[in-house]
Amino acid sequence: MATVNGVVRKVRRLRNTLNGNPRYSVVIETHAGDMFTGVTDHDAMFVYAVSWGTLQGKVAVIEYKAPRVNNYITGLVII
């Protein structure tokens, strides 16, 4: 797993998983100016602990895995 930190620029709600758990897409601008896009992992329980509506503009550290195409977010901490 890898981590990236920066300012959250965009948060978007995606369709729920087949089990009914919410998913989100997050865009972060790193301190180097690069843009990172990731989606929350399927049925990840940490999504219930994050206040997604107030996340935009805050500095965060994201833990993710990149198996093939998407970057799957497995953890998020607001700094």
Instruction: Report the alpha-carbon distance of residue 3 to residue 62 in Å, rounded.
Output: 5
Q: Torsions phi, psi of 60, nearest 5? A: -140, 155
d(CA 36, CA 57): 14
pLDDT of the residue at 26: 96
Q: Report the pLDDT value the prediction gives residue 1, as an integer from 0 to 100.
A: 85
pLDDT by 10s per residue, the chain, length 79: 899 999 999 999 999 999 999 999 999 999 999 999 999 999 999 999 999 989 999 999 999 998 888 899 999 999 8
Domain assignment of residue 27, given as a range: 2-78
Give the total number of structural domains in the chain: 1
pLDDT of the residue at 69: 83
CATH for 69: 2.40.50.140
pLDDT of residue 50: 92
